[in-house]
């Protein structure tokens, strides 16, 4: 019990980074989630988001908000310069995209999310940013392939852990995957300023093959690696590609060397 109280005090202390009034709203909604079990979506605020974002009750949305706006896990990219194209692979409900769009006022983002319910909320959360956003309900793979949403989930098994896999022989695909090379080619940009990858283990497929045409066109790459296989595959793909590597919380951060 003491450990739980200590954890919550630390968490509420960190939430002051949201700003005075947003932190109060965050604390109240966290208490409502624990004790009142709200049924309707509610708005959360942060000084790092130009617009409020919606959060679904009794889901992992509040945990994702905590990571991105309270813990500021993407602070490792705050110093990125001349940001043009951002590709957000595994955009969930749009919080990371909202953070980037608010931080980099001239940037355009392509946000990819395969889960239908997550995607619906992503569209609502990113709508205020207008034509700076291209939202795609799909999953990122190494090549265009037929995929299905897996019955399994990664990690905690919450809404933030939705996974996909290739359709088996005779199985009808639920979606056609997209790939980073195709996204870049259709974007109107010649390079990717920020590539964010949080795709619940599918990074093992993305960085196993067909990455050579686009990997050298990425300035900053931030990725959450979900297994030893994912890590070894990714590290082999970026070896000798001119990146400096660091860690930021759960993220592996790759920045293009001058």
Task: Please indicate, yes or no, whether residues 55 and 134 belong to a single structural domain of this protein.
Answer: no
Task: Please indicate, yes or no, whether residues 62 and 88 belong to a single structural domain of this protein.
Answer: no
pLDDT over 80 at 226, yes or no: yes
What pLDDT is recorded for position 1? 32
Structure-model confidence comparison of residues 115 and 39, the more confident one: 115
- Averaged pLDDT, 59-66: 90
In this predicted model, what pLDDT tens digit does every residue of 152-195 receive, in sequence order? 544 444 555 567 887 788 888 888 899 999 999 999 999 999 99
**Total Cβ atoms within 10 A of residue 196:** 26
In this predicted model, what pLDDT tens digit does every residue of 98-147 receive, in sequence order? 999 999 999 999 999 999 999 999 999 999 999 999 999 999 999 888 88
State the CATH number of the domain containing residue 152: 3.40.50.150
Among 72, 106, 125, give the residue marking a domain's end.
Answer: 72
Task: Please indicate, yes or no, whether residues 134 and 95 belong to a single structural domain of this protein.
Answer: yes
| C-alpha to C-alpha distance for 232 and 208, rounded to whole angstroms | 10
Contacts of 120 (CB under 8 A, 6+ apart): none
Task: Please indicate, yes or no, whether residues 68 and 81 belong to a single structural domain of this protein.
Answer: no
Two tokens, residue 208: 């196993």
Task: Please indicate, yes or no, whether residues 81 and 66 belong to a single structural domain of this protein.
Answer: no
Task: Please indicate, yes or no, whether residues 51 and 153 belong to a single structural domain of this protein.
Answer: no
CA geometry: angle 106, 109, 113, nearest 5 deg? 160
| C-alpha to C-alpha distance for 249 and 72, rounded to whole angstroms | 10
Task: Please indicate, yes or no, whether residues 125 and 246 belong to a single structural domain of this protein.
Answer: yes
Between strands 85-89 and 192-197, the pairing is parallel
For the chain, the domain total comes to 2
DSSP H helices, the chain, are 2-14, 20-31, 61-65, 95-103, 116-126, 180-185, 203-206, 212-215, 228-238
Among 44, 72, 100, give the residue marking a domain's end.
Answer: 72
Two tokens, residue 213: 């045409």
- Averaged pLDDT, 70-97: 97
Among 72, 98, 130, give the residue marking a domain's end.
Answer: 72
| C-alpha to C-alpha distance for 104 and 192, rounded to whole angstroms | 14
Two tokens, residue 115: 């889960």
Task: Please indicate, yes or no, whether residues 101 and 217 belong to a single structural domain of this protein.
Answer: yes
pLDDT, the chain, mean: 89
Task: Please indicate, yes or no, whether residues 2 and 59 belong to a single structural domain of this protein.
Answer: yes
Strands (E), 41-161: 42-44, 53-55, 85-89, 108-112, 133-136, 146-153
pTM over 0.85: yes
Task: Please indicate, yes or no, whether residues 9 and 36 belong to a single structural domain of this protein.
Answer: yes
| C-alpha to C-alpha distance for 135 and 64, rounded to whole angstroms | 19
- Domain that includes residue 23, residue range: 1-72
**Cα-trace Rg, the chain:** 18
Which pLDDT band holds residue 8 (cuts at 50, 70, 90)? low
Which pLDDT band holds residue 255 (cuts at 50, 70, 90)? very high
Spatial contact of 182 and 87, defined as CB atoms under 8 Å apart = no
Q: Percent of the chain beyond pLDDT 90?
A: 67
Which pLDDT band holds residue 11 (cuts at 50, 70, 90)? low
Task: Please indicate, yes or no, whether residues 30 and 153 belong to a single structural domain of this protein.
Answer: no
Spatial contact of 198 and 64, defined as CB atoms under 8 Å apart = no
Task: Please indicate, yes or no, whether residues 57 and 183 belong to a single structural domain of this protein.
Answer: no
What pLDDT is recorded for position 190? 97
Which pLDDT band holds residue 225 (cuts at 50, 70, 90)? very high
């Amino acid at each position: 019990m003491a450990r739980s109280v200590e954890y919550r005090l630390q968490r509420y202390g960190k939430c002051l980074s949201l700003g005075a009034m947003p932190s109060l709203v965050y604390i109240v909604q966290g208490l409502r989630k624990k004790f009142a079990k709200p049924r309707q979506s509610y708005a959360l605020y942060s000084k790092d988001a130009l617009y409020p974002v919606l959060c679904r009750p009794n889901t992992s949305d509040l945990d994702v908000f905590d990571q991105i706006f309270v813990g500021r896990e993407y602070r490792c990219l705050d110093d990125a310069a001349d940001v043009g194209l951002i590709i957000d692979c595994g955009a969930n409900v749009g919080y990371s995209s909202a953070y980037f769009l608010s931080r980099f006022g001239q940037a355009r983002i392509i946000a990819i999310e395969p889960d239908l319910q997550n995607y619906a909320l992503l569209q609502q959360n990113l709508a205020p940013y207008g034509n700076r956003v291209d939202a795609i309900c799909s999953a990122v793979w190494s090549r265009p392939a037929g995929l299905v949403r897996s019955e399994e989930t990664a990690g905690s098994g919450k809404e933030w852990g939705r996974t996909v896999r290739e359709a088996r022989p005779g199985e009808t695909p639920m979606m056609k995957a997209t790939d980073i090379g195709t996204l870049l080619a259709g974007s109107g940009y010649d390079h990717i300023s920020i590539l964010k990858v949080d795709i619940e283990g599918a990074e093992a497929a993305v960085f196993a093959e067909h990455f050579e045409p686009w990997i050298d066109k990425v300035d900053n790459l931030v990725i959450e690696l979900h297994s030893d296989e994912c890590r070894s595959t990714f590290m082999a793909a970026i070896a000798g590609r001119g990146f400096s590597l660091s860690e930021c919380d759960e993220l592996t951060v790759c920045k293009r060397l001058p």
